[in-house]
Chain A
Amino acid sequence: MDPIEQFHIVNFFALGKLGNVEIAFTNSALFMLIAVVGLTLFLVAGTAGGKAVPTRLQSTAELTYEFVVSMLRSTAGSEGMRFFPFVFTIFMFVLLLNMFGLIPYAFTVTSHIIITAALALTVFFTVLIYGLIRHGFHFFNLFVPKGVPIYILPMIVFIEVLSFISRPISHSVRLFANMLAGHIALKVFAGFIILLGGALGALGWAGGVLPFAMIVALTALEALVAFLQAYVFAVLTCIYLNDAIHPGH
């Protein structure tokens, strides 16, 4: 009945200690492992045949490839293709974890901000480090927009830097909050059915049809949100990477 209970981390077995922190194999780690192994198997099996007339599995694998390629090319240009493995991995990983969360009794890994923040920070530092290596000091032109009068330039630069720093926050919070809120809403509506049935008996169970219909609708919406958020996460990754490739001016 507790809508938060689904997010509890359960330790399955300990792997050792890092300083004072216990490193354990958790349910979160289990689902990440399932996602990675499943994704690898899917792509290896999908690309093994290489037939001219693709099988269903092969065309699905090709479809995901085409989807990410067009997304990356339209936002970061053909130069962005060097980041294709990175973007593809992030997109498929997040998509699979989001989708797993919809299966009853499954654990939603992306509903923990530490996961999404780690992903967003990886993107952030990739942009920063690659941009600095590739463009050197020129990369900081990113913070100096063209055509700004000199007397407000210092303030604009401050604002641009803050805007840059705030990226990983909005990047990670968006995915995390969407998944968290959606799953809590599902559990709350499910709880209504139990509450109604417990309080009003047969009448309550009959009335429970209404929240049940809501759950069905919400589950469909959640499937959409799961895909959309993975897509948005990947598109923003592409946009940020584009800044590293072309800092402008």
Chain B
Amino acid sequence: MFDFKYLNNKDRFLTRTNPLSMVRAAFRAAEQQRNLKSTRVESMADGTRGKGDRKEPPDDEAALSARLQRLGERLDNASRPSENVSGPRSTADASAFARGFRLSTELVAGVVVGALIGWLLDRWLGISPWGLIVFLLLGFAAGVLNVMRAAGVVRERRLDD
């Protein structure tokens, strides 16, 4: 049992994407929303984090079923936003392709828009190259934000209300 816990913790450490934790500080309201992958692993490691779980014997049926139920709920919550944006699940290959393509265009679009706006500002205000530098960076951030929204990592604004 100890080995399992150790492995789970290690997995958690490995699969937890770092940008996620960086963004979560800014989007404190989005605390509950989690990456599907990290949710899965966290739920598996639930026993190590649950309040009373540690004291109870590991083969307790009630605790196990409660944890399974919690896992199911969390999986439902985590997988819902990504289902909205990706294609039908049955066509795994093509939908994965479409998903990958969607993510890449989101990133590129953000960068392109930032560069374009920066370049135009440079031309109008004659502040070359500062507009390009600043807006390229902002555009890159917007692209990353787009990608994280598309991947369902950051909660979409529409779920806020």
Contact = CB atoms under 8 A, between A and B. Distances in A.
A102 interface: no
Task: Tell me the interface secondary structure of chain B in the complex.
Answer: helix
A239 interface: yes
B26 A152 contact: yes
Interface in B104-130: 105-106, 108-110, 112-114, 117
Task: Tell me the interface secondary structure of chain A in the complex.
Answer: helix
Contact of A243 (B88, B94, B145, B158): B158
B90 to A, nearest CB: 11
Given A170-B105, A170-B106, A235 B84 contact: yes
Interface in A212-232: 221, 224-225, 228-229, 231-232
Contacts of A163: 110, 142-143, 145-146, 149
A29 B142 CA distance: 36
B85 interface: yes
A85 interface: no
Interface stretch (A12-20, A43-51, A173-181): A173-181
Nearest to A164: B142
A234 B49 CA distance: 41
Given A159-B138, A162-B138, A167-B109, 13 more contacts: A75-B84, A156-B26, A159-B142, A160-B142, A162-B114, A166-B110, A166-B143, A170-B146, A173-B109, A174-B101, A239-B156, A242-B158, A246-B158
Question: Which 10 residue pairs of A and B lie closest in terms of their CB atoms, listed nearest first?
Answer: A170-B109, A162-B142, A147-B29, A166-B109, A169-B109, A166-B113, A163-B142, A147-B28, A170-B105, A248-B160
Interface in B41-75: none
Interface of B: 26-30, 84-85, 87-88, 91, 94-95, 97-98, 101-102, 105-106, 108-110, 112-114, 117, 135, 138-139, 141-143, 145-146, 149, 156-158, 160-161
A174 B102 contact: yes
Given A169-B113, A243-B158, A174 B105 contact: yes
Contacts of B112: 166, 169
A173 B113 CA distance: 13
Contacts of B98: 178, 225, 228-229, 232
A146 B160 contact: yes
A221 B98 CA distance: 12
Contacts of B143: 163, 166
Interface residues of A, number: 41
Contacts of B87: 228, 231-232
A170 B91 contact: no
B158 A249 contact: no
B117 A162 contact: yes
A248 B91 contact: no
Interface string A171-202: 00110011000000000000000000000000
A9 interface: no
